[in-house]
Structure 1
C-alpha cells in the first residue's frame, strides 16, 4: 500500500472520531465468504447487513448482499440531542441502503487447505438520505425541508486471503469500488444560508468516485455458527483528497470507517472431515 493511503486511513479514523458531517455514502459490509468446496453456503446477519454466498463448483462462487440503515428515524425535533451523529463509527441520521451481487473464484491452498484465496467482482446500487449540516431541531420543524439525498450505482472487485478453521476464521480483503452518484435532491430549506456547502453536495455527482475499502473480518465459534466482526475503511481515490479543506472537500459526505458485528452461518461438508488441531 502506498504511504499516501496509510496517511488517508489515519485521517479517516481521526475524522470519524471528531467530525459531525452527514453521510450520503456509507459502505456496506464487505462480503468475504472464503468458501472452500462445492455446494458450501455461508451467510451472515448484522443489525444493518445481510449477506450470503454459495459455491456452485469447487472454485466458483456467487454472492449477494443487502444493507439498510435506519438511523434517520432517530432525528426527533422535540429533542435537540437526537440530531447529532456522535456515534464513533456511524451516522445516526443516515437512512437508506444498497443491494449488490457478484461472482468470483476461490482456491484453498496450503498443506491442510486452511488458507483460502478468493477474488469476486460485482455490481450494486442504492441510495441514502440524511439531514443537511445546517439542520436545527425545534418545534414545528419539517425534516423533509432539510433532507438531502443521492442515488448511486457501483461496480467492485475484491481480492481476499484468509485462514479458515472450524473454530476461527480471519480474512483480509481489499475492495476497490467505483460509485456513480446521480439524482441529487434536497429539501427547500437545506443549505438555505450556506451556498458553499450546497455546491459541495452537488459536486458529489460530478463524476464517478473511486474508493479503496480494505476490511478485516474475524469469525469465532464452532462449526456451523460463529460470531463475526469486521472493521472496514473507505478511502476516496479522487482529486478532492484534502481532508483539511472543508469548503471544497466533497469527501466529507462519505463515511470513512465502519464496524459491524453479527452472526455467521456456514453449511459445509468439510467440517465433518476436518480434525481440530
Structure 2
C-alpha cells in the first residue's frame, strides 16, 4: 500500500510544513517538513493502516525520513521545484481467509518487515487559478510528483515459515490539487498510480493513491 509522497513545496528558510491525508481504504498519512535554509529541506513521513474485512485483514506501518533541495523560479517566483531522497522502514501483516464448502476456514498469514529508499521530484505552481464558492474565490494550486522507490524485504514469514526474500522498484507518478483557505491552510486532493518494475510473487505494486487531506505551511513566501 503506497503512502502519499511528501510535497511540502517549501519556499524560504524557516518554513514549516505539516499535512494529514486519508484514503477511502483507511490509509492515514502524516507528513512534515522544515526548510533549514533557503534551498535545503528535511522531511519526515508516517503512514498507518489497519483494515479488517471478512476475507482479508491488512495492517501496515511505515516511517520515512529524507532531505533535499528546493527552489522557486518564474517571473513572480511562484513556481517551486523540489528534489528529495530518503530512507524508510516498515512492516506489513496480511491475513487471507478461504471459506471451504464444509464450513472450515483456512488462513494464509503473511508477515513482512521491509526497508525502503526513494528519490522524488516535486513541481508546483502556486495560485494560478481560483474556484468561486458562495461568492468567494479560493486559489487553486496544481502539482506533480514523480517518485521512484526501492523496497526490499528484511524478513518474510508465511504461516510461521520463513520465506525467500524479495525486492522491487516502484515508479509512482502522483498529481495533487490544493484549494487555499487562507495563507497557511489548504485542502488537498491527491491521485496517482503505482507500477512495480520487477515481476514478483509477493512484493507487487499496491493500490493507487486517492486521498483527501489538510495541508499547513507556515513561515514561507506569500504569493499574490
TM-score by structure 1 length?
A: 0.68
Residue 202 (structure 1) shift: 4.5
Tell me the residue number matched to 1:87. Answer: none
Q: 1:1-12 counterparts in 2 under 5 A?
A: none
Which has the larger strand fraction?
Answer: 2
Match of 2:210 among 256, 259, 272: 259
Q: Is the 8 A contact 2:10 2:220 kept in 1?
A: no
Equivalent in 42, 63, 72 of residue 17 of structure 2: 42
1:230 CA displacement? 0.9
Deviation by residue 1:30-53 (Cα, 9 ceiling, x = unmatched)? 101111111111111123100011
Once the two structures are TM-superposed, the CA of residue 270 in structure 1 deviates from its matched residue by: 2.2
1:102 maps onto 2:66 in alignment: yes
Deviation sequence 1:215-238 (CA, Å, 0-9, x none)? 112111222111111112111111
8 A contact 2:16–2:217 mirrored in 1:
yes
Q: Deviations over 1:42-74 (max 9, x none)?
A: 111123100011101000000000000011xx2
Task: Tell me: CA distance 1:251–1:147, structure 2 relative to 1, closer, same or farther (3 Å).
Answer: closer
TM-score of the aligned structures, taking structure 2 as reference length = 0.83
Determine the structure 2 residue equivalent to 1:152.
114
Say whether 1:167 aligns with 2:139.
Answer: yes
Unaligned residue ranges in structure 1 (runs of 5+):
1-25, 76-81, 85-92, 191-200, 241-248
Please give the secondary structure, in 2, of the residue aligned with 1:169: strand
The residue aligned with 1:184 is 156
Alpha-carbon distance, 1:147 to partner: 1.9
Counterpart residue number, 2:95: 131
Partner of 1:64: 44
Instruction: Tell me how far 1:139 sits from its aligned partner.
Output: 8.3
With over 3 angstroms needed to count, the CA separation of the structure-2 counterparts of 1:263 and 1:139, relative to structure 1, is farther
Matched-pair contact (CA < 8 Å) for 2:90–2:113: yes
Question: Deviation of residue 253 (structure 1)?
Answer: 4.3
- Alpha-carbon distance between aligned partners in 1 of 2:205 and 2:95, rounded to the nearest angstrom: 14
Aligned length: 207
**Contact persistence 1:130–1:148 (CA under 8 A):** yes
Distance across 2 between alignment mates of 1:122 and 1:216? 20
Cα contact 1:51–1:66 (8 A) shared by 2: yes
Query: Which is richer in helix?
Result: 1
2: CA distance, partners of 1:63 / 1:164: 20
* Aligned counterpart, 1:210: 169
**Structure 2 CA distance, aligned partners of 1:226 and 1:34?**
12
* C-alpha separation in 2, matches of 1:252 and 1:61: 31
Tell me if structure 2 keeps the 8 A contact 1:108–1:114. Answer: yes
| 2:112/2:153 contact within 8 Å kept | yes
Question: Per the alignment, in what secondary structure is the counterpart of residue 135 of structure 1?
Answer: strand
